[in-house]
Amino acid sequence: MRVMGVTEEALDFEALSGKVNQMLGAFGSARSRRGLTADEVLIFLAAGQLSFMPEEPAQAAKPVTYIAISYLLNIPKETVRRKAQHLMELGLVESTPLGITVADTGSWRSFAASLLEC
């Protein structure tokens, strides 16, 4: 289909490109505001994603292991452990005997939402 000389494929690509640009801007802004590396942002998001039960939003986060995060992100377990240490120092995650949990559910949700408002 053509719209004023522009194909539907070109419009789809332009829309996708715009959304990717917005997401990358939000990601970069979130990194700089919190002083995180890209891996740390991903680990923080993964910890929350694996910890929360969507059907029970008020439920406290369950601990998630470094191995589970490692599998999800396809990065070495030792990298996850080391980056999680920095997240602990910043107060974003907490260590438990069963793994790590997001320290503040509301903070995680607002952080994730800021990246997805694209």
Residue 93 β-bridge partners: 102
- Helix, strand, or coil here: 118? coil
> When comparing pLDDT for 20 and 5, which is higher?
20
φ, ψ of residue 4 to 5 degrees: the values are 50, 50
pLDDT of residue 72: 96
Confidence of residue 39 (pLDDT cuts 50, 70, 90): very high
The total domain count for the chain is 1
| 97: DSSP letter | T
Please, which residues have CB within 8 angstroms of residue 105's CB and are 6 or more apart in sequence?
48, 52, 60, 61
Confidence of residue 91 (pLDDT cuts 50, 70, 90): very high
User: Over 60: is that where the pLDDT of 6 sits?
Assistant: no
Q: What is the CATH number of the domain that holds 81?
A: 1.10.10.10
77 CB-near residues (< 8 Å, 6+ apart)? 66, 67, 70
Angstrom distance (rounded) from CA 56 to CA 60: 9
The range of the structural domain enclosing residue 64 comes to 2-116
